[in-house]
Every structure is written in structure tokens, then in C-alpha cells.
Amino acid sequence: MTSVPTPIPSRTQFVLEEIKRRILTGRLTPGQALVEAELAAQFGVSKTPVREALKTLAGTGLVVMSQYKGVTVRMVDADMAREVYDVRLLLEPEALRRAVRRNASLDAARDALERADAADDTAERSLANREFHRALYLPCGNPLLGRMLDEVRDQAALVSAVAWASSPSWEREAGEHREILRLALGGDADGAARALHDHIASFVRRAFLDTAGDQGEEA
């Protein structure tokens, strides 16, 4: 019987992850053009894996493909932020509530919070914060709920990257993260869910004041 070889990471996957990282850490900014030939030269690949990576990123909402403008990093405005954060407000606190009630391990969230606190730069801190939130909702016991939140995860990170670039608020959010984790580790499912809800709602209100009227009642 012939063994199945371990798949080698594809060039497309490498290009995809690198472009995503650059977008979510602010190296590629909203509205910036993404030219296949230029990216292919930077990564030392042909245009084909770049093209496939950009198609995938368009599907996740990080880039926009236009017949006239080509491919650009998605612009972020109050409407886009409200749509993404509405989904998070509806689903993420409930996912955390369920994770706490089922006594799921939150070690990954603690580790991510420690990495964020020890980060040397904005990019590292941003990625650690994304992992912190994912580690809170992923062990909710409902894989579909986790996947639904994963689908908006990149767009939420893009909103955060734009907001942090104009008005850094790391310290405040780090304190809120610590309180959310404290409540969750203490077994207070409802308290942790409320703290997470307030954290998400207050961030988008601070960053995009146009949304205050819509989300103020929820916070």
C-alpha cells in the first residue's frame, strides 16, 4: 500500500498568508492597489498563485476586485464597520458564554493575551489580539458558530488596523481583555459575555463615531 505524502504548502497559500498579514498589520492600506506583476516579483513567484490568492482574499472581504480599478485593499468606513461588528455583537458573546458554561479550556486565550502584552511591535500585538478573541469563541462547542465568527474575523481585524493606525488604544483594550478573561476563568459566563459585548461595542463606537446611534442601545 502506497503511503500518501505530506502535502507541501502551496505557493498560493504562502502568497495568501503574506498579503493578508500585510493588510491586517497596515503595511498595505485600504484603497491601495494590488498589482499582480508587482506582488509576483516581490514573492518570487509567477502571477498565477498571486491571482488565486487575491481571488480568495476577495471572497473573505479583505480586497475588492473591479473591472475598471483592478484589485484594491478594501476601504473601511462606518457602514462596513457596523456590519462586521453587528455580527460579532450577536454571536461572539454567546459563543464565550457557552465556552465558559462547558468549562472549556481557555489556556490559548491566556497565552495570546500574554503574547500581546509582550509584543515588540504593532503587527505582533495585532495578531496576538486576533488569536485572543478566537481562543474565546472557538471552544464554544458549536463548530458552525465558530466558523461563522471565523468568516468575519479578517474583516474585523481590518477595521481594527485602520482604527489603531489613526488612534492607538492598545492599553485600554488590553485592560478590557484581562477583565474578560478574569471573569471567564472565574466561571462567570454571563459576566464574561457582558464584558465582551461592551468591549466590542465600545471599540467600534470610539473608532467610528457614526455608529454610535445604532449600537449605543446595545452596549
3-state secondary structure string, 136-168?
HHHHHCCHHHHHHHHHHHHHHHHHHHHHHHHCC
Q: Decide: helix, strand or coil at residue 70.
A: strand
Examine the pLDDT at 120 and tell me if it is beyond 90.
Answer: no
**Per-residue pLDDT tens digits for 97-114:** 999 999 999 999 999 999
Examine the pLDDT at 9 and tell me if it is beyond 70.
Answer: no
**Average pLDDT taken over every residue of the chain:** 86
**Per-residue pLDDT tens digits for 150-195:** 989 888 888 887 777 666 666 788 899 999 999 999 999 999 999 9
Q: Decide: helix, strand or coil at residue 133.
A: helix
More confident position, 80 or 1 = 80
Examine the pLDDT at 5 and tell me if it is beyond 80.
Answer: no
